[in-house]
Chain A
Amino acid sequence: MVEEIGTTTDGDIIINVGPQHPATHGVLHLVITINGETIKKVEPHLGFIHRSIEKMCESLSYRQFIYVTSRMDYLSSHINNHACALCVEKGLQIEVPSRAQVIRVLMDELTRIASHELWWGAMAMDLGAFTPFFHAFRERESINDIMEETCGARLTMNYMVPGGVMQDIHPNFQTRVKNFITLYKSKVGEYNELVTGNIIFQNRMKGIGYLSSEDAISFGCTGPTARGSGVSCDTRKLYPYEIYNQLQFDEILETGCDSFARYMVRVREMNQSIRIIEQLIDNIPEGDFQAKTKAVLKLPKGEFYQRVETARGEFGVYIVSEGGTTPYRIKFRSPGFSNLSALDHIARGSKLGDLVAMMGTLDLVIPDIDR
């Protein structure tokens, strides 16, 4: 047990960041050992927002448990719901109507853009630039409005259910998404002018937070964090689910292995999501939005695992069923938990002032880590 404040016998200083600190984006507590300004060790302390979701799910039915998963990674709530719905469908072998599949993918990609927009604004704010936050939120707001109209919620959507989606899309959905695409395309240039090309920003990001591809794999990093180190890990490409294998999009890989590479992956990924939405928005098939399912779902005895790609990386749902109406055990493999475990390795030897830039590019969402 480290002393949480004071000095060590070597004369190193121990400082605390969080649990209430704006740059930790939630209630994350870091105990940092520094020598001068050089970081010697970063030790995350978790659990400030732990809600025992896995334990709670053991007493919830297969329809109910999806609702709590929106509260884990609240910026990718559609994708969390999607993973759970897919896992239950895998167990029950439900065929999802093609209309529902297309709607689900559209929602996933809109969520991914909204999540990256928020990350981009917050990331720049961490580094001291306040304006980008408003730019990002302007576009993110229109996605939230689209979600609100169709799903009835702006953050915790709970829109995907086993068998399809909860209700059909709003009549305005297609028009509003198209308007959003036009808006996004006219504004994305500003992003790069404002932040990406900024020399001060680049100096603070390049060469900071080195994570080699071997370490990225060993630490279990996924998503843009690993792709910034050149590790191909996009679940949508490698283990395609829904209709991702029929879509044209690129897996974004950067080989810089530093904070700037991770930043660039996310910025470029938004354009790929726009590309996916453009392919689908005029081709939503007619038909049912939900398959006919029984009122009470009972998964057969066995184990089911579903991997999906959230905005932060690979999210996994592992259901162990004993044949009853509630799962015997559920494990959520959250991307943030593994990504955070690499923070100590990334930060060692760097300067304290760079820690915020490193944390920012890991895109941590604390409720996702704590569960």
Chain B
Amino acid sequence: MTNEELKTKIAELLPQASFDESGQWLTINVAPAEWKPLAVKLKQDTSLYFDFLFCVTCIDWKTHLTMVYHLDSTKFRHNIVIKSIIDVANPAIETVSDIWQTANFHEREVYEMFGVNFINHPDLRLLILPDGWEGKNPMLKDFEDPVNMIKL
């Protein structure tokens, strides 16, 4: 599908979604509460069929966090990017690990690095950080470690 067709189709599924076409792929901005129901439809809809979630990450903008999901379809080979702005004081978004199993590990990484809570995640524990890690989440912009220098 072309970007225009994708836009029409997704606007049907979620009328509140806003679109951004300035980047490489069509970007769809959704509210955190709308993400999970949309994700189910993106995977199940036979004309969209986004079955391959190839990148899950988070960006710290200091005033808010943005979750970024990159999706690909192995059948139609069209790509979209989903962005969802979440509150920095209480970062939480629904998990999609039951739709795309790869999200399990990726969300655990985002959880420990950015402190985002994934609601209903089956196994939300530390993956990379050592057990008993205390203190801030390392990938946040205001994280400073005086012992192990990360910034140059």
Which positions in A face B, CB cutoff 8 Å?
1, 45-47, 50, 52, 54-56, 58-60, 90, 215, 217-220, 222, 231-233, 238, 302-305, 307, 314, 316, 318, 320, 328-329, 331, 333, 337-338, 340-342, 345, 370
Contact = CB atoms under 8 A, between A and B. Distances in A.
Interface in B53-93: 53-55, 57, 59-60, 68, 70, 74, 77
Per DSSP, chain A at the interface is mixed
A318 B57 contact: yes
B104 A218 contact: no
Give me the 7 closest cross-chain CB pairs, A-B, nearest first. Answer: A220-B102, A47-B128, A341-B105, A331-B57, A333-B55, A218-B101, A59-B151
A314 B51 CA distance: 16
A324 B143 CA distance: 20
B57 A1 contact: no
Per DSSP, chain B at the interface is loop
B74 A233 contact: yes
Given A305-B24, A331-B55, A341-B105, A59 B152 contact: yes
Contact of B59 (A231, A233, A329): A329
B91 to A, nearest CB: 16
Contact of B54 (A314, A328, A345): A314
Given A316-B54, A345-B101, 10 more contacts: A1-B131, A55-B150, A55-B151, A217-B74, A219-B101, A219-B102, A305-B70, A338-B102, A338-B105, A370-B128
A302 B102 contact: no
Interface size of B as a range: 20 to 34
A218 B23 contact: no
Interface centre among B51, B55, B109 (most CB of A within 10 A): B55
Given A47-B130, A331-B55, A370-B128, A341 B102 contact: yes
A75 B106 CA distance: 23
A50 B138 CA distance: 12
A302 B74 CA distance: 27
B102 A55 contact: no
Nearest to B140: A55
Given A54-B139, A56-B152, A338-B105, A220 B54 contact: yes
Interface in B112-152: 125, 127-131, 138-139, 150-152
A220 B105 CA distance: 10
Given A1-B125, A329-B59, A370-B128, A231 B102 contact: no
